[in-house]
Structure 1
């Protein structure tokens, strides 16, 4: 009887291990390849990060990250279907498999990382929440907003940060919340509230939509940490690793001076770090289901992180946001990538 019970327990344990292994088996990359297209969860429209034009052509920092994934998988950055998602629906869409990856200025928090069945692959933009007000109010600090009405979007970390800030500073306020970013911006523009709060990058982007952008200013206070980054489902370690290393490849390329313009010339480099990155030495792409030239494809079609930043939100864009915390670690910023080794 004891032997039977032991065998039964062992068999049950084996079944659990097999089920667990099956759940962790690589699947997303195979599905993406079979479909011939990456389904990328994107913003409904945020300048600099993810926005379509009248012809449906998408641009932005997050958009280019999706294109970088497509480039490394298909050697073609156009094989992406952008699926606009509201703040409320974005995580459900990823959980359900509607999208393969969510790249939609989403904040990496403990609860999202541990309770939603998701994994954040890194931080592609370090941000923080701020406030925008009309210049005519004469307000120069968020600490002067006692009694103000503040427009914000539902289903975001913004609401909690707003409450924390006013409570911590013993200030009164009235929250005016809306389901979508467009509704929130329109309400602020029409005068339904005194201030508008969201991530600082979003404030600069949404300011461009206002009737008279120059009549508004972003206050200096940053009241939260908002590490924004892509996320994947937590049942596919291979896909998680692939998406994570797309970001690291773009950072390493910038640090090593490899650009979209010179990447072909850099294939001849004798620098061992560049050789490993571009696949002329080693087979580092194999562990994430890719070819040896996986990073070369990203840089050739999209460029390095710095190029993408400057083009979409930096000095070469309408937003003209300084690199700041998003500079490389070698330039005083927080962007740091493990080596390809």
Structure 2
């Protein structure tokens, strides 16, 4: 798992702007909140900026102390919007459906902040959006995780225009304030769980988004990749190029790019790209296979796409080659995988 060796991971500065708005409603001036943080009030109005993970945690703890409000994480989450996530939020908001929006969040949030890794998993007719914390020295407290979980549930409702039946599980002890905010929550919350995750019916992934725009989605994804390229140049990651190439080699509309096209995006020659990937223990073909597997499983969840269409979309010359590769990844054929998913979906409709 890729980690930053020496650099403190960063979070969107819009989280702090949101925090300042909420504490001001509780009669705490923004200046008081930011005191000693090195962040000026004027910075709160800037559209895209980042702050160290540790500073965010310190400000969050300070906000709880100043407001004497232990349920602050819930109130912050209720105010979260997709715009809090900059170009990633925009790309999610204009995606075709909820599944694609969550895939965008999964792909790009973890690359921007390796201390928080969204992970979408599907099992037994249910989808789970995990929020993993792989970096030992950088962990969210209960208030911060509640903020993110409530916020993600709130955003899911907002971008679909529906009140979704979402369950949140948090790996923290149950707080005493839970009863007082129960009616405000956009999802059911249970504490003392093994993981931090949102759970909902797999069928929700196909829900269309109210602001879906294919062209805007494509442009926003390109902006996300451009932003990642700039961040990678500033950060001391162990395998930054591997992560970037994995995202750059495929586009939802145009499909897969050749090595030269990816190298051009990174302002490298093909030979230099190959050499630098080798230093990180990867090859272009290996990353291509990883992305093909991910998108194959995603596309197979859409019964309207034929297996031959998916094979062509993933760049295979014929279905036989695709079937052989998929069986290597999943120990079953694409048709078997699809039939199993559809059977689980039927079961989910009967049990949720």
Instruction: State the TM-score, normalized to the length of structure 1.
Output: 0.26
Say which structure, 1 or 2, has more relative contact order (CA 8 Å, 6+ apart). Answer: 1
Instruction: State the TM-score, normalized to the length of structure 2.
Output: 0.25
Structure with a larger share of its residues in strand: 1
